[in-house]
């Protein structure tokens, strides 16, 4: 199966490329890796020529402008990158009979749910911030493009709270913040009333590969690790893994001012995979990620120490 991955240098893109490379149905050349130089969200009109050149059977669209605060500051740019560009790609794929799996987000829901259930694919989206609006716009444009497709299949895979390499994910930022808190002798304040489903990028990628292997990408999929956590819960687990002696103090979302307002209840109800097995719970996934996280954090500390010494 010839599969192309947009955003191949991003967090999920890298994981998808690695997972696809190990899949038994991958050809000897491996997956097609399309970084920004191949498919630029700001200049999507060249996608037809790229599809004709590389001739994929399936495109996994992982490229996105995922800077949620940046999207809040420039909603029009967010719509162009996450909405319009996805629509252009979808139209080009549909016209050529190429299947598309578009990666989306839990932030297509506003997080106002209070019944304790995760959002299901059948729940009507109602985004509460510009990032969510732009990603939902991409979903809708993709659906519109594939309504008239000739036998091609569209899938939407929503995920949430992704973490993994490369750095600058939530766990790595928490560890650096914990270092600063420990140095100052202060507790670390973390939002305690925003809840979601932390999801390891490698696990999400493996789920996508399972859908591909079973020819089951069609429809809407919620690909998340199991169990619900608050940001503070996740921070406590991460700090404990690093054996840092830092107190975590819960604070409300309202005390953390930022341009984008995330969904307070950002929980997705996971959809069944072809194997019938759900993704593992997030603490188990974090345990696998911890050695890489700690290694990268040590490297970041060393780089910071070198820069500090050089600036004296």
For tokens 């209840």, name the residue.
Answer: 265
Spell out the residues 6+ positions from residue 146 whose beta carbon is closer than 8 angstroms to its own: 90, 94, 100, 152, 153, 154
Half-sphere exposure of 258 (CA within 13 A, CB side): 14
Q: Where are the domains of the chain?
A: 3-163+197-222
Return the SS3 of 64.
Answer: coil
**How far is the C-alpha of 294 from the C-alpha of 180, rounded, in Å?**
16
Note whether 78 and 131 are within 8 A (CB): yes
User: What is the Rg, in whole angstroms, of the alpha carbon atoms belonging to the chain?
Assistant: 20
Contacts of range 284-288, beta carbons closer than 8 Å, 24 or more positions apart: 285/198, 285/199, 285/200, 285/202, 285/203, 285/225, 286/171, 286/198, 286/200, 286/237, 286/238, 286/241, 287/241, 288/200, 288/202
Selection from 74, 79, 127 nearest residue 263 by Cα: 127
Half-sphere exposure of 262 (CA within 13 A, CB side): 25
How does strand 32-34 pair with strand 265-266?
unpaired
Residue 184: which H helix or E strand, with range? helix 170-184
Per-residue pLDDT at 173: 95
Q: What is the DSSP string of 247-265?
A: -EEEE-GGGS--SS---SE
- Give me the tens of pLDDT residue by residue for the chain, a chain 312 residues long: 899 999 999 999 999 999 987 766 665 566 799 999 999 999 999 999 999 999 999 999 999 999 999 999 999 999 999 999 999 999 999 999 999 999 999 999 999 999 999 999 999 999 999 999 999 999 999 999 999 877 899 999 999 999 999 878 999 999 999 999 999 999 999 999 999 999 999 999 999 999 999 999 999 999 999 999 999 999 999 999 999 999 999 999 999 889 999 999 999 999 999 999 999 999 999 999 999 999 988 877 777 667 766 776
pTM given for the model: 0.94
Per-residue pLDDT at 312: 66
Peptide bond into 310 cis (omega under 30): no
Per-residue pLDDT at 29: 61
Per-residue pLDDT at 149: 77
CATH no. for 3-163+197-222: 3.40.50.720
Per-residue pLDDT at 24: 67
Per-residue pLDDT at 169: 96
Dihedral of CA 18/22/27/29: which sign?
Answer: positive
């Amino acid at each position: 199966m010839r599969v192309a991955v947009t955003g191949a240098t991003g967090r999920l893109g890298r994981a998808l490329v690695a997972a696809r490379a190990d899949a038994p149905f991958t050809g000897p050349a491996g997956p097609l890796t399309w970084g920004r130089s191949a498919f630029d969200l700001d200049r999507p009109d060249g996608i037809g020529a790229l599809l004709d050149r590389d001739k994929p059977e399936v495109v996994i669209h992982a490229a996105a402008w995922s800077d949620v605060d940046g999207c809040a500051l420039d909603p029009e740019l967010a719509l162009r990158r996450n909405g319009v560009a996805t629509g252009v790609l979808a139209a080009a794929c549909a016209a050529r009979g190429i299947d598309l799996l578009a990666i989306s987000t839990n932030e297509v829901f506003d997080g106002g749910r209070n019944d304790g259930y995760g959002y299901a694919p059948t729940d009507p989206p109602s985004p509460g911030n510009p990032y969510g609006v732009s990603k939902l716009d991409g979903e809708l444009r993709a659906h519109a493009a594939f309504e008239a497709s000739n036998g091609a299949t569209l899938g939407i895979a929503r995920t949430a709270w992704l973490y993994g390499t490369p750095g600058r994910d939530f766990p790595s930022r928490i560890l650096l913040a914990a270092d600063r808190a420990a140095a100052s002798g202060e507790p670390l304040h973390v939002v305690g009333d925003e809840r979601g489903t932390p999801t390891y990028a490698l696990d999400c990628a493996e789920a996508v590969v399972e859908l591909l292997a079973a020819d089951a990408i069609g429809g809407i999929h919620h690909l998340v690790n199991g169990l619900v956590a608050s940001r503070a819960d996740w921070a406590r687990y991460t700090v404990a893994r690093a054996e840092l002696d830092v107190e975590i103090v819960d604070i409300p979302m309202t005390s953390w001012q930022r341009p984008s307002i995330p969904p307070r209840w950002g929980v997705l109800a996971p959809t069944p995979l072809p194997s019938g097995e759900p993704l593992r719970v997030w603490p188990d996934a974090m345990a696998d990620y911890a050695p890489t996280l700690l290694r990268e954090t040590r490297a970041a500390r060393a780089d910071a120490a070198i820069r500090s010494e050089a600036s004296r």
